[in-house]
Amino acid sequence: MWENVFREVDAAYEDMVKTRRHLHQYPEVSFQEVETAAYIASTYDHLGIPYEKNVGGNGVIATLKGDLPGKTIALRADFDALPIHEETEVEYKSKVDGVMHACGHDGHTSVLLTVAKILSAHQHELPGTVVFVHQHAEEYAPGGAQPILETGKLDHVDAVFGTHLWVDTPFGTIDTSKGAFMAGADRFELTIKGKGGHGAQPHQTKDAIVIASQIVSELQQIVSRRINPLKTAVVTVGTFEAGSAFNVISDSAKLTGTVRTFDEDVQDTVINAMENIIKGACLAYEADYEFNYEKGYPPVINHVGEAEQILRDTPKADETLVTREVDPVMAGEDFAYYLHSKPGAFFFTGAKPEGETYPHHHPKFNFEEKAMPHAAKALIQAYRSYQER
């Protein structure tokens, strides 16, 4: 059976591309993916696979019960897009102004729908049950994973697997790690409230730009001077907004940024250090501030046995595929919540395109579409291997 399944994945490539490109032209941002969810549901209607929609929001969960006994395994794909204006010149570029699939979720959806179509054709010889989890709102916290889990619709699942088409990973390569794989992703917002005035009379002001600049500089020392060198953390200030004229000292400044960690104790150290730095700087300049820190997705921590399974068995699906155990990356993913609840693993499917490569979330982002069959085969093999354990 499985050899036929993997051959059928290759044969489905053109349809996979067609589906991906359709989704790419009609992107929807997190929590607004109504039409995308309807498209997914209509595909399951056509396949005759029972499903539930509006799960935890805009989520869609389909269930295919094989005729043979076995375990229940979930395979997950996200389907939201980003508020980015597309700058590629592909013929299938976004038709929605200011919104694009800049992270590959259109590809993830196409992959999982293809897996569902192929496995449903082998239902009579399929062991166990496969649950296809189409998740909304991965890009923005609080995300879609936790609301889906809170519905209880996955309580019966024995394990969960997912993949991300990843342009930093070479085509033909599957990357994962045993244990920490992706970082916890937090965000913060800081507003400095000083006293504005004339640019020629700084002594009569409380310069919010100077205060905020000092804070930015000191925040960069948290990782190098407050965190154990054997631990990992990132503190990034992403925006700095202040001022309205060249000769006016601004009365306020706003900073936003992100913190990435793998350990709760490191996260606590960073938060405490940030609060002390901000409080100290504002006290020195007699300014006020408002600091909001939002804990986001926890780190993606793969279960060792399931990650070992990915590394060991994926080439059984396609002998051209190479697996690598890699260091964790500092990007975040709400797949973390599934792994808090169930055994499983998350992995990257190499989708580095030929020529110039643009990173995820870039307006010129694109991925190698020939990686989609690799992702489909890897997910199917993960299902197969877990059934055979």
How is 23-70 classified by DSSP, letter by letter?
A: HHHS--BTT--HHHHHHHHHHHHHHT--EEEEETTTEEEEEEE-SEEE
- CB distance 297 to 138 below 8 Å: no
In the numeric block, which tokens belong to residue 203?
């002594």
Q: How far apart are CA 203 and CA 116, in angstroms?
A: 68
For residue 307, the model assigns a pLDDT of 98
In the numeric block, which tokens belong to residue 358?
């643009």
Catalytic (active site) residue 80: yes
- CB distance 366 to 88 below 8 Å: yes
Q: For residue 372, which phi and psi values (nearest 5 degrees)? A: -60, -45
198 forms beta bridges with 248
Which one of the listed residues 78, 106, 138, 368 is annotated catalytic? 138
- What is the average pLDDT across 275-281? 98
Q: How far apart are CA 250 and CA 311, in angstroms?
A: 55
Q: CB-based contacts of 86: which residues, under 8 Å, 6+ apart? A: 93, 94, 100, 102, 363, 364
In the numeric block, which tokens belong to residue 164?
């991300």
Residue with tokens 């897009």: 81
The tens digit of pLDDT for each residue in 22-66 reads: 999 999 999 999 999 999 999 999 999 999 999 999 999 999 999
Tell me 81's DSSP state.
B
Which one of the listed residues 28, 33, 78, 80 is annotated catalytic? 80
- What is the average pLDDT across 285-308? 97
- What is the average pLDDT across 321-343? 97
The tens digit of pLDDT for each residue in 186-206 reads: 999 999 999 999 999 999 999
Percent of the chain with pLDDT over 70: 100
Options 3.40.50.970, 3.40.630.30, 3.30.70.360, 3.30.410.40; CATH for 184-297 is: 3.30.70.360
Pairing of strands 252-261, 233-242: antiparallel
For 191, the 3-state DSSP assignment is: strand
**Looking at the domain 2-181+299-387, which fold is it?**
Aminopeptidase (3.40.630)
Closest CA to 90 of 351, 348, 375, 353: 353
Q: At what angle do helices 2-11 and 371-387 cross, to 10 degrees?
A: 160
Question: Could you tell me the pLDDT band of residue 153, with boundaries at 50, 70 and 90?
Answer: very high
CATH 3.40.630.10 residue ranges for the chain: 2-181+299-387
Cis peptide before 142 (omega within 30 of 0): yes
Return the ∠ at Cα 26 (arms to 23 and 29), rounded to 5°: 100
For 244, the 3-state DSSP assignment is: coil
In the numeric block, which tokens belong to residue 92?
């299938």
For residue 356, the model assigns a pLDDT of 93
For residue 48, the model assigns a pLDDT of 98
Its pTM stands at: 0.94
Catalytic (active site) residue 138: yes
- What is the average pLDDT across 3-23? 98
For residue 28, the model assigns a pLDDT of 98
In the numeric block, which tokens belong to residue 136?
């909304």
**What is the average pLDDT score of the chain?**
98
For residue 317, the model assigns a pLDDT of 98
CATH 3.30.70.360 residue ranges for the chain: 184-297
For residue 7, the model assigns a pLDDT of 98
